[in-house]
Amino acid sequence: MNEFERLKLLSSQMHLEPSEGNDCPQMSSLKEDSIVTSKAVLPNGQHISLLKTLLTSVCERDCYYCAFRKGRDFRRATFKPDEFAKVSIYMHKAGMMDGIFLSSGVVNGGIYTQDKLLATAEILRRKHKYQGYLHLKMMPGTEKAQVEQAMLLADRVSVNLEAPSPNRLRRLAPNKEFTTELLKPLQWAEQIRKEQSPHKAWKGTWPSTVTQFVVGGSDESDLELLSTTEKLHQQMGLARAYFSAFNPISDTPLEDKAPTPLIRQNRLYQASFLIRDYGFNLEEMPFEYLGYLPLDVDPKLAWARCNLVGRPIEINSAPRHLLLRVPGIGPKGVNTIIKARRQLKLRDLSQLTKLGIRARKAAPYILLNGIQPAHQLALF
């Protein structure tokens, strides 16, 4: 296979790994239009075309859910660091992609594989002067020095925890060590951010760290997933947790397991944003039986129905943390409200609508100058 045939093969399964808030993969429209790129949103809000791929799809690990597990019968491909750097720089200059998400199957151990990923990043940054976005995956068992080198070269680094605890991980990947192989690199990344100056990093700032969970693959509850997520935000400076609904893959030990509904994945995203951006804690999440979030209503609305009905929040005087708890009002909306009420009294829903607030959604839970606006009562 030539370089583009290999890249087509290696990028074709990467929709299984969410990152940078991407939508469904789309095909590039240029000459090599069989290479999969994805629409992505960077942490700064910039929209880019992201090439998500592997350095190699050969893997010595036997994770029960994974399309790339050893022994699975499918066509594999491999790039050497200089080969991948050459073809990706060609694509970048041709306008086929704006950023790179680079992972790999594990070959000869995590440390050896991480060296290959780092060598690729070095060639891109140092030799080809690549200034675009780069997300580097950290392999299981990577060393602290490798984590530091990755942080000097990348815009974002990540380790996939896959499950919320060691016991749950054993159901998905029995040969991975949760604490020493996966959690430790995230701890090192936060330690490096706190103890070292980022002046040597490629753009003078340390990259963010993220992780991914396979939702439903190990029969874990939402409570377990969000408990681990909350700790990662608080203790390790995690920028974001990604949730990937389990979907069975043929020729794997879990091929007969039922897929996880996408709505469960979406509720976990909503709840994790409430914890990260809205000041909610785990105890406030509206868990139902056995620690699962309700599927029929988003968690913020479920909380408001239990806590704000009969106790509406005055828009003209409520502090920021209370405004954030009103359905229909997000962080940007709160900033807009606080700025606007310095100039005038907010008295009706039309004013909120002009400020970009989802006023009808907020109406049952607010007061405007002491008066609750008219609203449609919920049927259920």
Residues 185-204: pLDDT tens digits?
Answer: 999 999 999 999 999 999 89
**CATH number, domain with residue 210:** 3.30.750
Residue 29 has pLDDT above 60, yes or no: no
Q: Is residue 184 part of a domain?
A: yes
Residues 100 and 200 both lie in one domain? no
**What whole-number distance in Å separates Cα of residue 153 and Cα of residue 134?**
8
- State the total domains in the chain: 3
Task: With CA atoms as reference, report the closest residue to 185 among 230, 237, 126, 220.
Answer: 237
Residue 377 belongs to some domain of the structure: no
In this model, does residue 375 exceed pLDDT 80? no
- Domain containing residue 277: 164-296
From residue 17, alpha-carbon distances to 97, 104, 211, 274 in Å are 18, 12, 10, 23
| CA-based nearest residue to 278, from 227, 340, 328 | 328
Which of the listed residues 242, 266, 296 is the one where a domain comes to its end?
Answer: 296
Q: Is residue 378 part of a domain?
A: no
- 3-class secondary-structure state, position 380: coil
Determine the pLDDT at residue 377.
54
Are 169 and 255 in a shared domain? yes
Kindly state whether residues 16 and 129 are assigned to the same domain: yes
Does residue 189 share a domain with residue 313? no
Instruction: Please enumerate in sequence order all residues whose Cβ is within 8 A of that of 312, keeping only pairs 6 or more positions apart, or say none.
Output: 364, 365, 366, 367, 372
- 14 and 117: one domain? yes
Residue 258 has pLDDT above 60, yes or no: yes
* Residues 287 and 320 placed together within one structural domain of the fold: no
User: By C-alpha distance, which of 217, 249, 248, 256 is closest to 74?
Assistant: 249
- For residue 379, tell me if it sits in a domain: no
What letter represents residue 28's amino acid?
S
Q: Are residues 227 and 113 in the same domain?
A: no
Residue after which a domain boundary falls, among 296, 324, 347: 296
Q: Clarify whether residues 75 and 178 are in a common domain.
A: no
* Domain shared by 126 and 60, yes or no: yes
Which of 296, 321, 343 finishes a domain? 296
- Looking at the fold, whether 86 and 2 belong to one and the same domain comes out as yes
On the question of pLDDT at 306 being above 90, the answer is yes
Q: Residues 23, 111: one domain? A: yes
Question: Of the candidates 92, 6, 1, 122, which has an alpha carbon nearest to the alpha carbon of residue 53?
Answer: 6
Q: How far apart are CA 57 and CA 188, in angstroms?
A: 27
Q: Within a domain: residue 285?
A: yes
Helix (H) or strand (E) holding 266: helix 262-277
pLDDT digits (tens, 9 = 90+) for 87-141: 999 999 999 999 999 999 999 999 999 999 999 999 999 999 999 999 999 999 9
Q: How far apart are CA 192 and CA 200, in angstroms?
A: 12
Per the domain annotation, does 376 fall within a domain? no
SS3 of residue 154 by DSSP: coil
31 plus 54 within the same structural domain: yes
How does pLDDT run across 56-82, given as a tens digit for each residue? 999 999 999 999 999 898 899 999 999
Span 309-336, mean pLDDT? Answer: 95
